[in-house]
Amino acid sequence: MRFVSTSKSIRQKRLTLAVQLGLAMSLSHSVYAENSPTSIGNNTVDNIENNVIETSVENSLDTNKVGNDTTAAPSATLDTITVYSDGYRSTGTKTALDPEDAPMSYTRIDQELLQKRQADSVNAALRYEPGVSSESRGTVSIFDEYNIRGFKTYSNFYDGLRLPYDGAWNLMPQVDIYATEAVEVVKGSASSLYGYAAPGGMVNQIAKTPKSTQENEVQLRLGNQNLKEVAVDSTGPITDTLNYRLVALKRQKDGQMQTTEEERLLINPSLEWQATDDVSILANLFYQDDPEMVPSTPLPAVGTVYKASYGKLGSDAYAGDQWNHFSKEVLMPGITINWDINDKLTFKHITRYTDAEAQQRNMYNDEGFVEGSDKILNRVAYTTDERMKNWTTDNQLAYKFDTANTSHNLLFGVEYQETDSTATYYDAFADGTPNLDLSNPDFSQISTDILPLDTFSRYDDIEQSQLGLYVQDEMTWQDWTVVAGLRHDKFKSTLDRTDTSKGKTPSEKMINNDASETSGRLAAIYNFDNGLSPFLSYSQSFQPVVGSNFITNEPFEPTTADQLEAGIKYLSPDRATKGTFAVFDIAQKNVLVSDYVNYTNQTQTGEIESKGFEVSASRMLNDWVDLAASYSYTDAEITEEEVNPETVGNMPAQIAKHKATLWADYYATDKLTLNAGVRYEGGMQLDKQNSDELPSVTLVDVGGSYRINPMLTVGASINNLFDKTYVGACYDINNCWMGPEREMSVSLKASF
């Protein structure tokens, strides 16, 4: 069996479609610009992006003149007032409720903050978010993976719709952070609005959308690991009623692990048509091609966490081979319609189609080292060929009305999605895969022609569908805001599996997972005149599970969770000081449990409880300095597990018990801004047996930007300034991943 790659013709067709759309929009704009009056351009009073109007009130100090020179003192943003338009929908409520007034833990990481932190991935954007362990596999680029409040999250949301994932393999579409206007994080259970969602929380990437004013950006970025990146972001009007946006990026770099590489091509054109005064239509085409990505190849704890006979491995350690490979291609066209039917009634429709595929050549550890050795690693080579097609739609009808002294914003919604995916898996077994000497690795041992990938194979054909009906009432009475929601989901899944072992008759089985779940949320917040706003919420979540119990052959039921959260928010009258404190208790049932001998043998006998608290605050100390700090404590515990009862009372792996961060912005002059951050994580367990605790780690990040002139800005960033070598996380003693090494980059951005 040979590795199957995507046909060049299909890949070429997808790329050509995205490029043609982008060029068509650019040419159309050029024609419009030639026949239009001179625009205000970047001097436009109001800057509208993603239906959010952000107005900054700036306070400039007096200038001091020396001779013919004029030296300006620093000018810092004293206040940012955000006004939401009728089309805006926040992640927390799917309404225009200001996040400051939402009765839940909610964070919006906007474009300005993303640029300050030079975030080039969703994981990087979440580094300073309390309660989130975002870099457990920091050397891996094939998916976004993090823990929120003690629970694993693989799949993000993109403009309110969940990015498809079949729950069984490695094909998970990603949206590059450069195509993202903001990242919104909702902590805790959110199934009452979104259906399938992890209990710890959800991350929603807000897409960049067209603007009515002309703005152009070209950015060049260079860095260590041979980083080379060019990015373009252009938006403006084509006609009086039609606006465009074109986002494109090309990135190449070496992977942190030896012999690995990363490469990405992104093309994201979009059009927004104001059909009438009441109807707007947004068409978005997202295309992302990743011909080279870094696979998730684990290392043993000996040599990473612990010293081996040869010492410890470096941050670039690798257990793979030059043969290893991972590629992914994603095409996602979508359409959004906003209709203001009247002053009280609005309708929103979103539909998105996804066509994605991924090919992988990778390895896993076969019970660690050769007997009697701490450096000769047993490995197993395997390949996967995955394909996925998905379409999803969400339809929202909102009605505003008053009863007595209470204002209501009633939301009705219908969401439906279908996913068809296939995965072909080939395993060479340990006898056919060369071992690796970690002390003196040879990364060119594998020959595809002689690798016995037909030793074992598995073919999965997975069909899934989910229908969700939901209702939510957002009630405002004097200083009270109450949000009550209920959603019912019907989930269907069919897994058609064929296993083939060399010399044996293939075995086939079909597993049907059908489930109906009702999820609710009740939350309230009270706004005092002094800026304090205490809140309380109860919410539920569920996650469908594909597969069956290997003992009983019974289909898995969805995992369910309940969360109780209480907290208090603070916003000073001058809006210079913000703060949030929240305590939570989450209980998850029907957790999958893997057999020690064979991880593919699973039962559903586990329960996990996670409780803790999070505190975050920000303060504008003066015109020169802004500070933001956070601390979170997460105490997760296995409360039930029949297969491995000795783990009851233990903490699951890959969860940071303690996380603390500090971030500072220093506005040295009107042109120069400096940034620095410190982040600490500790209390992470080596495995669920809690055999040991991983060393804590403290990392320092620095950066800054200098505006050369109104058009040119140069930026720089260094993450992990002191280049600490550390283990990001371990699943168990045979599966660990190094944390990201020092990453340095400089950028030059032209805005016109």
pLDDT digits (tens, 9 = 90+) for 13-27: 566 656 555 555 555
Residues 6+ apart with CB under 8 A from 404: none
Q: Provide CB contacts within 8 A for 205, sequence distance 6+.
A: 122, 156, 157, 158, 159, 175, 177, 180, 182, 183
233/125 Cα distance (integer angstroms): 19
**Mean pLDDT lowest for which of 89-103, 243-257, 369-383, 419-433?**
89-103
Mean of the per-residue pLDDT values of the chain: 88
Q: Which tens digits make up the pLDDT trace of 718-737?
A: 999 999 999 999 999 999 99
Q: Does residue 294 have a pLDDT over 90?
A: yes
At residue 27, the pLDDT reads 53
**How far separated are the first and last CA of the chain, in Å rounded?**
53
- What residues have CB less than 8 Å from 715, skipping those under 6 apart? 115, 118, 703, 704, 705, 706, 746, 747, 748, 749
Would you say residue 126 has pLDDT above 60? yes
Q: Residue 351 contacts by C-beta under 8 Å, 6 or more apart in sequence?
A: 334, 335, 391, 392, 393
Query: CA nearest 494: which of 548, 454, 440, 530?
Result: 548
pLDDT given for residue 370 in this prediction: 93
Answer whether residue 77 shows pLDDT above 50. no
Tell whether the model's pLDDT for residue 258 goes beyond 70.
yes
Distance CA 421, CA 463 (A): 7
385-444 pLDDT, tens per residue? 999 999 999 999 999 999 989 999 999 999 999 999 999 999 999 888 999 999 999 999
- Burial class of 373 by CB neighbour count within 10 A (0 to 12, 13 to 18, 19+): middle
**What percent of the chain is modeled with pLDDT above 90?**
74
Sorting pLDDT into bands at 50, 70 and 90, what band is 65? very low
Strand partners, 673: 667, 705
Q: Which residues contact 215 (CB under 8 A, 6 or more apart)?
A: 41, 42, 233, 234, 235, 236, 751
Q: What pLDDT was estimated at residue 594?
A: 77
Residue 132 has pLDDT above 80, yes or no: yes
Q: What is the model's pLDDT at position 191?
A: 95
Each residue of 356-373: pLDDT tens digit? 999 999 999 888 899 999
pLDDT band at 78 (very low <50, low <70, confident <90, very high): very low
Residue 559 to residue 519: CA distance in whole angstroms:
12
The residue with greater pLDDT, 643 or 561, is: 561
Between 80 and 90, name the one with better pLDDT.
Answer: 90
Looking at residue 508, what is its pLDDT?
94
Confidence band, pLDDT 50/70/90 cuts, at residue 1: very low
Q: How confident is the model at residue 743 (pLDDT cuts 50, 70, 90)?
A: very high
Q: Would you place residue 279 in the very low, low, confident or very high pLDDT band (cuts 50, 70, 90)?
A: very high
pLDDT at 143: 85
Q: Which amino acid is at 104?
A: M
Q: Report how far residue 136's alpha carbon sits from residue 153's, in angstroms, rounded to the nearest whole number.
A: 12
The contacts of residue 552 (CB under 8 Å, 6+ apart) are none
pLDDT score, position 18: 60
With cut-offs at 50, 70 and 90, classify the pLDDT of residue 598: low
Residue 503 burial by Cβ neighbours in a 10 Å radius (0-12, 13-18, 19+): exposed
Spatial CB neighbours of 469, under 8 Å, sequence gap ≥ 6:
413, 414, 487, 488
Tokens 């403290």 — which residue? 698
Among 8-12, 189-193, 294-298, which is the least confidently predicted range? 8-12
- Asked if 319 and 298 touch (Cβ cutoff 8 Å), the reply is yes
